[in-house]
């Protein structure tokens, strides 16, 4: 089904624009080791749990991590950046952003990631050459509210907005905000976690598929 050109496309960051979930996994394991928990997290079980809940921090509660929030954040960011800085943007991601700009489509990044976690990776992969930092919202705990804020700020109709993310929670947030959800496959996320996401408009295997879904 063809759609008219959108007025706004909202992109998630982690796992959507850059494949960084292995870095997030290493950061989670580092926190457990700080607490004397040496049993490594199983990749599939870990990512499946995160994908269904949309929350990385639940894994620490499951393992009775007693560190303070500040201690968790400090260690997590340090380890994550050791593994994530230098990762490239996903194939065709940059070309699609440029195409959207040429079509006068607003492009925004909306992410739950803290600025100090995301910005070094964004700088290294050249994202700021494509999307200015002032067009990004960081540490968004309520993505529905964040999307609605962008709709109001840019004065666009929800039906003319697409949101692209790699998690079921991204698709559900978009649908709740009244906009069109597009999922992009992430090699670390089992595809079957999307089976009960009735709100999903389109599941793309890569950014070529995202381009087709948008236009």
Task: Of 17-21, 36-40, 66-70, 195-199, give the lowest mean pLDDT range.
Answer: 36-40
Q: Are 54 and 106 within one domain?
A: no
Which pLDDT band, with edges at 50, 70 and 90, does 3 fall under?
low
Task: Of 34-38, 52-56, 126-130, 186-190, give the lowest mean pLDDT range.
Answer: 52-56
Q: Are 149 and 62 within one domain?
A: no
Q: Are 100 and 193 within one domain?
A: yes
Q: Which domain holds residue 12?
A: 8-19+87-214
Q: Are 38 and 138 within one domain?
A: no
Residue 54: predicted pLDDT: 62
pTM of the model: 0.92
Q: Are 166 and 135 within one domain?
A: yes
- 8 within 8 A of 131, measured Cβ to Cβ: no
16-30, 131-145, 188-202 — most confident range: 131-145
Q: Is the pLDDT of residue 171 over 60?
A: yes
User: Is 1 part of a structural domain of the chain?
Assistant: no
User: Is 2 part of a structural domain of the chain?
Assistant: no
What CATH code is carried by the domain that includes residue 176?
3.40.50.1000
Q: Are 153 and 165 within one domain?
A: yes
């Amino acid at each position: 089904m063809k759609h008219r050109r959108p007025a706004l496309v909202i992109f998630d960051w982690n796992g959507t624009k850059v494949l960084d979930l292995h870095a997030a996994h290493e950061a989670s394991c580092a926190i457990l080791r700080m607490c004397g928990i040496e049993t490594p997290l199983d990749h599939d079980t870990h990512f499946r749990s995160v994908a269904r809940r949309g929350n990385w921090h639940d894994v620490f509660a499951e393992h009775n991590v007693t560190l303070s929030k500040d201690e968790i954040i400090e260690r997590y960011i340090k380890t994550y950046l050791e593994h994530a800085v230098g990762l490239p943007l996903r194939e065709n991601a940059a070309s699609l952003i440029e195409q959207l700009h040429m079509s006068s489509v607003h492009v925004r990044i909306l992410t739950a990631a803290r600025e100090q976690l995301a910005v070094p990776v964004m700088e290294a992969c050249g994202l700021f050459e494509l999307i200015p930092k002032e067009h990004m919202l960081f540490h968004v705990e309520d993505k529905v509210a964040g999307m609605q804020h962008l709709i109001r700020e840019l004065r666009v109709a929800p039906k003319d907005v697409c949101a692209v993310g790699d998690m079921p929670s991204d698709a559900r947030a978009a649908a709740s905000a009244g906009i069109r959800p597009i999922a992009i496959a992430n090699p670390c996320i089992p595809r079957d976690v999307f089976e009960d996401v009735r709100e999903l408009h389109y599941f793309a295997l890569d950014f070529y598929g995202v381009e087709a879904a948008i236009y």
